[in-house]
Structure 1
């Protein structure tokens, strides 16, 4: 079912229990869903938009723009077939969110993810990758969370194709090019059918490293 809304920021009207939040941003019918940790890690504290306002966010935006998922970059990027959100959308006040904080806000993230029903999930960093692999692929036990190795690889989950992304704060030479190449290859094939097949193949070993 297609979502009918012209809102780019917080299209589903999420109201988490906090004074400041960075809600999901992008196309409510996107095929590609970028998943981050929280605003203090991946940006948006000042802009209110995920993955903006930091040098690391700019590096990631540039890679996404190269394959057309972003039509423009900056503090209010123009999106293509793309949505971004955080596991913990509230802005931390004084310290890192606790495990209980993540649990409390997980339902907001999960509601956005299931409303969008993207075909490709792009978890950024170790925490987001662990969460996505545990909750949406049932394959976490098969993979060591070595983000340098997982970066730009593919894992077929239960209805989603998952492509882990190394935290752009930690990118080294070649990491941007590796992600661009991986996304360009996915965009060149029928990833819709592949993600749908994941509903039946999630229990099999479908991990690939290029």
Structure 2
């Protein structure tokens, strides 16, 4: 699988007509694969498309939650587009999800997350980011299970948000979804992540080893 270096939307050419999860196929508007810079140091992983992304086909866009998220990326210098952009210009950031399809009435099942995992795993392997940012509780649980040796229930999204955690091959930096975070929580994350970006993070992976 090769990346289309000039493409930001689904740059790895993943199946846009995937029907592996029968319970999601009829409920979704479209499959939402990863989007962004294929050479990024930072990969942001959410649980599932929001209602906006289900319509635009681009992760973290098209609704209030997406605007809040892109506003944080703008403050970090990772997004050069307005927060309401449906095709944001990203620099050094890749956006994706645990599951690629949205059911409007429920979160994905464990089976659906497991079925979709090869898509996420392939993106992570191809991008090989320095930092994986799990956005939200579900993403933190799944990503920490895959990339650390610590039981997922030992992580806490609120207390661990913005903290660099050494994993197996990657650093993890949990993020409270900006649309759900308080102003203080968002400011704290921006300050912590800005400090990480200013550091030699390629040489100093893992302030805490787990």
Corresponding residue for 1:13? 13
| Unpaired stretches in structure 2, ≥5 consecutive residues | 20-24
Q: CA deviation at 1:4?
A: 5.7
Q: Once the two structures are superposed, what CA deviation does each residue of 1:80-100 show, in whole Å capped at 9, x if it has no partner?
A: 001000000123265432221
RMSD of aligned alpha carbons = 2.2
Q: Is the partner of 2:209 in helix, strand or coil?
A: coil
Corresponding residue for 1:127? 138
Q: CA deviation at 1:145?
A: 3.5
Of the three residues 101, 112, 133, the one matched with 2:123 is 112
Residues 95 and 82 (structure 1 numbering): CA distance in 2 closer, same or farther, change over 3 Å? same
Corresponding residue for 2:22? none
1:25 aligns with 2:28: no
Contact 2:50–2:60 (8 Å) recurs in 1 = no
Contact 1:59–1:168 (8 Å) recurs in 2 = yes
Q: Is the partner of 1:89 in helix, strand or coil?
A: coil
1:192 aligns with 2:199: no
1:206 aligns with 2:180: no
- Give the stretch that moved more between structures: 91-100 or 66-75: 91-100
Q: Find the aligned partners of 2:73 and 2:151 in 1 and give their Cα distance.
A: 26
Q: CA deviation at 1:184?
A: 0.8
Which structure 2 residues correspond to residues 59-208 of structure 1 after superposition, within 5 A? 59-72=68-81, 73=83, 74-92=85-103, 95-140=106-151, 144-195=154-205, 206=209
What TM-score comes out, normalization by structure 2 length? 0.85
Q: Is the partner of 2:54 in helix, strand or coil?
A: coil
Q: Find the aligned partners of 1:54 and 1:175 in 2 and give their Cα distance.
A: 20
- Give the stretch that moved more between structures: 58-67 or 22-31: 58-67
Query: What is the aligned length?
Result: 197
What TM-score comes out, normalization by structure 1 length? 0.85
Contact 2:4–2:11 (8 Å) recurs in 1 = no
